[in-house]
A and B are shown apart, each in its own frame.
Chain A
Amino acid sequence: GENVEQHPSTLSVQEGDSAVIKCTYSDSASNYFPWYKQELGKRPQLIIDIRSNVGEKKDQRIAVTLNKTAKHFSLHITETQPEDSAVYFCADTGRGSNYKLTFGKGTLLTVNP
């Protein structure tokens, strides 16, 4: 089955620094790559996504890049703030057109004031 590897599992940065989380996927047919943020005690929520026909997408301080040749995609957060502290999950759709998601194991990001 589809496999999504996510690194690092934990990441600690100082407020104002940048944070990068990377994911690799195994199925070359994957064509949709979302990122979810889960704050402590809350539900996961979509923060940004990218489709396979695009190499980069930005939304204010967050951006996602996709390298289809290498089969990896990354989440970039600039000018981090304490409220960015959360668990972040990447996901992809894998083979087929049903868009069932396979999630990575998550990255706990801590932004220190």
Chain B
Amino acid sequence: DADVTQTPRNRITKTGKRIMLECSQTKGHDRMYWYRQDPGLGLRLIYYSFDVKDINKGEISDGYSVSRQAQAKFSLSLESAIPNQTALYFCATSDPGHGGGNIQYFGAGTRLSVL
């Protein structure tokens, strides 16, 4: 969905380096998420934010931090990258909408390799 933009699309870095993955959206959604995808493990939630002042840890937050700079921007940082953080990272947004539910709209993903 072109309304959720992730940068960079690909990144190669070295062990110990600090890197930031960025996500911006034009959908006007309050809720934003960062997921990690590994083969055979599905989509695992790293952090999520329900508004600018609300940040929550997901199931695999260790080694990661986030910043919600504005409603439209949600960044994921790896303070000191390690090889097992090599994965495909997705940002997503949602708006609970009418009647509940939580349709999530994903960015195109960032493929990160830590050497």
Q: SS class of chain B's interface: helix, strand, loop or mixed?
A: loop
Q: SS class of chain A's interface: helix, strand, loop or mixed?
A: loop
Among B59, B96, B99, B107, point to the contact of A1 (Cβ < 8 A): B59
Residues of B within 8 A of A36 (CB): 104
Q: What is the count of residue pairs linking A and B with beta-carbon distances less than 8 angstroms?
A: 59
Q: A43-B90, A43-B109, A45-B106 are in contact. Are A99 and B41 (CB under 8 A)?
A: no
Q: Which residue of B lies closest to A33 (CB)?
A: B101
Residues of A within 8 A of B40 (CB): 9, 105-106
Among A44, A89, A99, A105, point to the contact of B102 (Cβ < 8 A): A99
Residues of A within 8 A of B44 (CB): 103
Size bracket of the B interface: 20 to 34
Q: Mark A6-41, 1 if CB is under 8 A from B, else 0.
A: 100100000000000000000000011010100000
Question: What are some 20 contacts across the A-B interface (CB < 8 A)?
Answer: A31-B100, A34-B103, A43-B90, A43-B106, A43-B108, A43-B109, A45-B106, A49-B101, A51-B100, A51-B101, A89-B43, A97-B100, A99-B100, A99-B101, A99-B102, A100-B48, A101-B102, A101-B104, A103-B42, A106-B40
User: 5 additional contacts, CB 8 Å, given A105-B42, A106-B43?
Assistant: A32-B102, A42-B108, A43-B1, A99-B96, A101-B104
